[in-house]
Structure 1
Amino acid sequence: MSVLVVGMSHHSAPIELLERAALTPGAARELGARLQAGDHVEETLVLSTCNRLEVVVEAGTFHGALSEVGDALGELTGLSQEELTSHLYVHYDDRAVSHLFEVACGLDSLAVGESEILGQLREALAAAQREGRLGVSLNPLLQQALRVGKRAHAETAIDRVSRSLVGLGLDRATTVHPDLSTVRAVVVGAGAMSGLAVARLVRAGVADVTVVNRTRARALRLAENHQVVAGDWADLERLVGGADLVLACTGAVGHVVEHDALAAARAATGRTGAPLVLLDLALPRDVDPAVTDLPGVHLWGLGDLHSSLEAVVASGAATSPEEGLLPRPVAGAVPHRAVAEVRDLVTSEVAAYLTERRAARLGPTLAALRASASKVVDAEMARLDQRVPHLPEDERVEVRRTVQRVVDKLLHTPSVRAKELVSSGDTDLAHALRELFDLDPHEVVVTTRPPLTLPTAGGEA
């Protein structure tokens, strides 16, 4: 059995398709349960975020599991098989491990380096654990992915790259409002990206900032951290209608800023035609694209900002956490260095994980080999007892010790060499040993049964 990742993200699908494929929490649970009931999937995790939908499974058979995942995705997202085939990506075994580590580090995110994916992955892991969909394969793999993600943010400057995306949005805003310190700003949402947005607004000297979130406690906590104001969700339309700058990132399914509601709110606040900048940092989009029909309204989404950021990073421009994101040609720019450092970290962590996994898979086979050898010793000692029934006990013990030492020495070098070969990537060695020594595969299964309890998502990561 091997790890299989099937999914779609901003890398493989247009924003419009990702919006259609977005799953509610209930639909994500149903997807996991449906796959778990299949014939070719042993363990399952569903990761559904604002810019990706991924299914991670322990596959009994590759093609069988792939077929089951594809069918289930089609039924629950409403997408045709043709649409899925055109936009799904598939990662298998070693490449699947590498992909999961990259996702946890933020390397695969639309806003490269963002840390919110760590919380989303942890929540998906906890949900899969609660629902009994994880075992000895995916649980340790995903725990390790979380640890690698935490290392990336603790040991490198990868956070600076996601800050660049927020900075680009504010740079776009200055083309409409040259002096940001004078604007009335509203931040919709209270997640990691919203936190970055509030911090950048405060550093830019914006005095009038209001944070709005469905859960008021989260909005209040974010507002208090930056000494700004928290608003009520019920007042969202009025607040947005009276604002000069709105940054939205809720991760909701469906628009939270609608065309007609915005038009009515701007009319009610006497701001029809006044310049309004909407930065939509969410996927699915929080803001109805049709709002650009309204006079004075400017809208930039993640797709616009990400294209600009790719151009900046490709040009070697650096960013400063204290300044707006204005490209500066500096050798060894922060985005380049941070991304390269995290990629090196992922490479080393993947290699270490795969080496450990291969060694673990060989362990039961070596245990079975030694058990088989012990049975041979027992059989020969029983034969000796029949032929020399009056052999003194002390002599019998010494004979057994001698025979056991011979067996141990004969097995020692092959065992050590087998571990070395497995570490270098020879994954077929365990099968070869079972065939050569006629080991019972069912006996190996017994030695690898899962523990009664699994470490939880919050415990180790």
Structure 2
Amino acid sequence: MLIIVVGVNHRTAPVEIREKLSFSESSIKESLAQLNSFPGIDGCVILSTCNRTEIYAATVELDDGINAIWKFLSDRSGVDIFEIKNYTYSHALYDTIRHLFRVAAGLDSMILGETQILGQVKNAYELALKYGATNRVINTLFQQALAVGKKVRSETGIDKHAVSISYTAVELAKQNLGNLDGRSVLIIGAGKMSELTAKHLVANGVSGVIVSNRSHERAAVLAKQFNGRAITFDELYKYMEIADIVISCTAASHYVVKLDKFQKVMDKRTSKKIFLIDIAVPRDIDPEIAKLPGVTLYDVDDLQNVVDSNLDERKKAALAAEDIIETNLSEFMKWLSTQFVVPTIVALRNRADEIRKQELQKALNRLGELSEHDKKIINTLANAIVNQLLHDPITQLKSYAATPQGHLYTEILQNLFNLDVEGERPKNKPSSSKFYEEMLAAAANDSSK
């Protein structure tokens, strides 16, 4: 049984292609059933996020499985299959497992170490399981991937360092003000960056949102998102007297928040501690304000410096994460190897036993009357010959089972002895030429060492 993945992500395809290949949650059930109807597919999971669409599948034949997924994606999206091939990537066996482990750990994300992807992998697997689209190999693979993703986060802390401007601002606010529950924020300007930062703040407990913008209508629209209130520019300093956090990001060419007026604000505040975030370029907030007691002010360069420092920390954590992935990859491959090696060994022993019985009976028939002692000796001889002949092939197959060439040697054994193994490719069906040639070359290299 081979594990494969065919996918497209933010590195391999533009958004206009990714959106055509994406799946809504409501379409997953039908899509999984359609995928599993292809002869080359025996269990699958569809992972679809804003930055990636990936189809993981178990297949008995590499080319059949990958071609089935390409055709499925083309038929469903209307994108020409040659274009699908140009924009997608595909992996098999080791590379598929390593890829999924890295995805679950956040190492393949646009933002290194991001946490949302682990939940998305979990949801994709649970949907496939719910709709009966998986098999034992796929189930074990995704369960292991989820465990790896959790382990990477708990042991490396890769997600503990904010690496976006908006989220870094929130983390710094938490460091400066402590718990954000019940805190209030004043947003100056109604642009996307202010909106994103406000979303992160609200998600972390901020409950009072006040929005001011040159266009009062735009301020009202943004305030409505957070059940807040819109105020005019003339009321800015009045509401600064009660706000715990101020976010400013306007297109003004001059300071919007001036030193002399803000000094009066601080004189009136009951709480002398206030956190200011100036994301605008040119800056909105007079930098001299940072010198006032109780004021913490970060501009966009300050935030970027923190982001860069945190990204360095995430890169260090990613190195440790790769070690965790490789260890778990080896453990999973040991398990997977038994799934195709043991049935093949059983089939080989059964085949040998059938031949032994047939030939032994022929010999006994020709020999005529024999004593029980003689029959026992002949039977023991036949058993010994069979066991001796099978010993080395079985021992070698077990040793290769946990290597990338394990599946190759299993296929060769099945072909040489004409074995019909349940769950494997149909007897006498040629193996995938490309994969087979690659594996033969790898095997040749091994044998020459």
Smaller-chain TM-score bracket: 0.5 to 0.7
1:204 counterpart residue number: 176
Residue 267 of structure 2 is aligned to residue 270 of structure 1 = no
Residue 422 of structure 2 is aligned to residue 445 of structure 1 = yes
Tell me: CA distance 1:384–1:356, structure 2 relative to 1, closer, same or farther (3 Å).
same
Tell me: CA distance 1:410–1:440, structure 2 relative to 1, closer, same or farther (3 Å).
closer
Q: 1:3, 1:58 within 8 Å by CA — same for their partners in 2?
A: yes
Matches within 5 A, 1:126-205: 126-160=126-160, 163-166=161-164, 168-170=165-167, 201-205=173-177
Tell me: CA distance 1:382–1:64, structure 2 relative to 1, closer, same or farther (3 Å).
closer
Equivalent AA in structure 1 for residue 175 of structure 2: R
Residue 338 of structure 1 aligns to a residue in which SS? helix
Matches within 5 A, 1:34-433: 34-59=34-59, 61-74=61-74, 76=76, 84=84, 87-160=87-160, 163-166=161-164, 168-170=165-167, 201-205=173-177, 206=180, 208-209=182-183, 228=205, 242-243=210-211, 262=221, 265=224, 269-271=230-232, 276=247, 326-327=305-306, 334-383=313-362, 385-386=364-365, 391=370, 393=372, 396-397=375-376, 399-426=378-405, 427-433=407-413
Residue 149 of structure 1 aligns to a residue in which SS? helix
Tell me: CA distance 1:418–1:59, structure 2 relative to 1, closer, same or farther (3 Å).
closer
Separation (CA, whole Å) in 1 of partners of 2:21 and 2:96: 22
Equivalent AA in structure 1 for residue 2 of structure 2: S
2:295 counterpart residue number: none
Q: Computing the radius of gyration over CA atoms, which structure comes out larger, 1 or 2?
A: 2
Provide, for residues 103-141 of structure 1, a one-character-per-residue CA deviation record: whole Å limited to 9, x for no partner.
111111223223332222122112111211111332222
Structure 2, unaligned runs of 5 or more: 186-199, 237-245, 257-276, 280-301, 427-449
Q: 1:36, 1:42 within 8 Å by CA — same for their partners in 2?
A: yes
% identical aligned pairs? 24
Q: 1:364, 1:448 within 8 Å by CA — same for their partners in 2?
A: no
2:12 counterpart residue number: 12
RMSD between aligned residues? 4.6
Separation (CA, whole Å) in 1 of partners of 2:355 and 2:83: 59
Decide which moves more: 128-137 or 64-73.
64-73
Structure 1, unaligned runs of 5 or more: 174-196, 212-221, 231-238, 245-257, 279-290, 301-322, 450-461
Tell me: CA distance 1:17–1:383, structure 2 relative to 1, closer, same or farther (3 Å).
closer
Q: 1:369, 1:439 within 8 Å by CA — same for their partners in 2?
A: no
Equivalent AA in structure 1 for residue 34 of structure 2: R
Separation (CA, whole Å) in 1 of partners of 2:22 and 2:409: 43
Separation (CA, whole Å) in 2 of partners of 1:81 and 1:448: 26
Tell me: CA distance 1:243–1:31, structure 2 relative to 1, closer, same or farther (3 Å).
farther
Q: 1:292, 1:299 within 8 Å by CA — same for their partners in 2?
A: no
Separation (CA, whole Å) in 1 of partners of 2:69 and 2:218: 37
Equivalent AA in structure 2 for residue 371 of structure 1: N
Equivalent AA in structure 1 for residue 414 of structure 2: R
Provide, for residues 256-281 of structure 1, a one-character-per-residue CA deviation record: whole Å limited to 9, x for no partner.
xx969626859962145967568xxx
Residue 162 of structure 2 aligns to a residue in which SS? helix
> TM-score if structure 2 supplies the norm length?
0.62
Q: 1:46, 1:53 within 8 Å by CA — same for their partners in 2?
A: yes
Q: 2:6, 2:90 within 8 Å by CA — same for their partners in 1?
A: yes
> TM-score if structure 1 supplies the norm length?
0.61
Deviation at 1:33? Answer: 2.5
Provide, for residues 423-444 of structure 1, a one-character-per-residue CA deviation record: whole Å limited to 9, x for no partner.
44434322332333x3332xx1
Deviation at 1:408? Answer: 2.0
Separation (CA, whole Å) in 2 of partners of 1:139 and 1:46: 13
Q: 1:7, 1:90 within 8 Å by CA — same for their partners in 2?
A: yes
